Amino acid sequence: MSQVKIKKVKHAVSGTLLFPGDKSLSHRAIIFGSLAEGASSFTNLLSAEDCICTREAFKNLGVKICSVSPSEIQIVGRGLHALKAPKKEINLGNSGTAMRLLLGILAGCPFRATLTGDPSLSSRPMRRVTDYLSQMGAVFEGRDNANFAPITVRGGDLKAIDAKLPVPSAQVKSAILLASLYANGTTSVTEPVLSRDHTENFIEYFGGRVRRQGLKVSVEGGQSLKARSFEIPGDISSAAFFIAISVLLRAKIHFRHLLWNPTRTGILEVLKRMGVSVHAESSDSKGPEPAADFYLETRDLRAFEIRKEELPSLIDEIPILAVLATQAEGTSIIHEADELRVKETDRIHSIVTQLAAMGAKIKAEGNTITIEGPTPLRGAAVDSFKDHRTAMSLVVAGLIAESETIVRDIECINTSFPDFFHLLGSLGIEVFFK
């Protein structure tokens, strides 16, 4: 299953969809369950390659984790200071989230551990994490002054710092906040724009104290965490591809129990500016994050503009928003999306070149993307660049393109959304694997 063939959808599409657990929350559920004292259990956990790597990492660090089913786990944690030195390198596959957050945790642990990953992860920069953690007292060894994996961490006594991030990043912020739990004193992180706040929410939900002052968040060291159990809401970043299908095909799709954190719903705010109506109501959620049910009503689409300060709330959705922009009236502009250059691939390059191959009027000037629409798309053989979000965006583009579209290298979709094609099938959308 190295490539998939897609044809234009010409029939009505409708259905009700439940999504696997949010990837960011699934990572953190494993992390906080492992660091807490007591037995935690989590349902609707995302059973994708990235999250499996996080789970295996903590097993290698001596945590007892039992898989009840692919989407349910039980973790018996013994506290922040109970992790043990791993007997081998910890391989995190393609998961940048797992590597950056683990660097923060291992910075506070009094042993050596080496983190490695696949060629893609090993090419992604880590200095923006390790530089701050080095200031706190951890020692790192690796290529280019610990910028690229494999990276060896020697942790121990940490001191608090006051970090001011030049670029908003939930992963960098989370690594520092996790390290702060081990540090002497109170650590603060200030961002130019608020990024995802899942780590802050999890610290509080697991019994820790977090002080939030505008763009500054502070955590005091020496706190303990207590076990909790909950159901993880569906992943809105994965649902984004089906949100796009609902809009592009005028499909009647009901989305159930999706994560509704305002730092993650930026795509819906953009859709509203495009002329899409979002009808939502709260869904019962007993965990650290809110959830909602919703459906969309679509009219003629208007072009949109996304400023740099908006990007943290929708950075993962930029590729699929580019697909939507090809069908909107006017010129859409996505400003200064620098962060896309250092994802699993250079997503500016991948989405611009591949949508252009399908006839889109799209270009990049520096890190700003411009798309003119509406433009009919035509089928083509396109490449995912082994990036899961590029791959799924191109599959969606193929559903509205004239003639046949082939998307190559689709195995990468398993890193975040192994149920992607199954959910397409549940809507009556047929694809053909080659």
CATH label of the domain that carries residue 355: 3.65.10.10
Q: pLDDT tens for the chain, 434 residues: list them.
A: 599 999 999 999 999 999 999 999 999 999 999 999 999 999 999 999 999 999 999 999 999 999 999 999 999 999 999 999 999 999 999 999 999 999 999 999 999 999 999 998 999 999 999 999 999 999 999 999 999 999 999 998 999 999 999 999 999 999 999 999 999 999 999 999 999 999 999 999 999 999 999 999 999 999 999 999 999 999 999 999 999 999 999 999 999 999 999 999 999 999 999 999 999 998 888 899 999 999 999 989 999 999 988 988 898 999 999 999 999 999 999 998 888 886 778 999 999 999 999 999 999 999 999 999 999 999 999 999 999 999 999 999 999 999 999 999 999 999 889 999 999 999 999 999 97
Among 190, 206, 230, which residue terminates a domain?
Answer: 230
Number of domain units in the chain: 2
Q: Return d(Cα 154, Cα 133) in angstroms, integer.
A: 11
**Structural domain boundaries, residue 382:** 3-20+233-433
User: What was the pLDDT predicted at 299?
Assistant: 86
User: What was the pLDDT predicted at 228?
Assistant: 97
- Do 245 and 122 lie in one domain? The reply is no
Report pLDDT digits (tens) over 422-434: 999 999 999 999 7
- Do 211 and 243 lie in one domain? The reply is no
- Do 265 and 376 lie in one domain? The reply is yes
Q: How far apart are the first and last CA of the chain?
A: 6
- Do 302 and 346 lie in one domain? The reply is yes
Among 181, 205, 230, which residue terminates a domain?
Answer: 230
Out of 22, 50, 118, 316, which one is annotated catalytic? 316
- Do 47 and 128 lie in one domain? The reply is yes
User: What was the pLDDT predicted at 283?
Assistant: 87
**8 A C-beta contact, residue 419 and residue 20:** yes
- Do 320 and 192 lie in one domain? The reply is no
- Do 145 and 247 lie in one domain? The reply is no
3-state secondary structure the chain: CCEEEECCCCCCCEEEEECCECHHHHHHHHHHHHHCEEEEEEECCCCCHHHHHHHHHHHHCCCEEEEEECCEEEEEEECCCCCCCCCCCEECCCCHHHHHHHHHHHCCCCCEEEEECCCCHHHCCCHHHHHHHHHHCCEEEEHHHHCEEEEEEECCCEECCEEECCCCCHHHHHHHHHHHCCEECEEEEECCCCCCCHHHHHHHHCCCCEEEECCEEEEECCCCCECCCEECCECHHHHHHHHHHHHHCCCEEEEEEEECCCCCCHHHHHHHHHCCEEEEEEECCCCCCCEEEEEEECCCCECCEECHHHHHHCHHHHHHHHHHHCCCEEEEEECCCHHHHHCCCCHHHHHHHHHHHCCCEEEEECCEEEEEECCCCECCEEECCCCHHHHHHHHHHHCCCECCEEEECCHHHHHCCCCHHHHHHHCCCCEEEC
Q: Does the active-site annotation cover 157?
A: no
User: What was the pLDDT predicted at 1?
Assistant: 56
User: What was the pLDDT predicted at 286?
Assistant: 86
> Cβ–Cβ contacts within 10 Å for residue 66, how many?
11
User: What was the pLDDT predicted at 110?
Assistant: 96
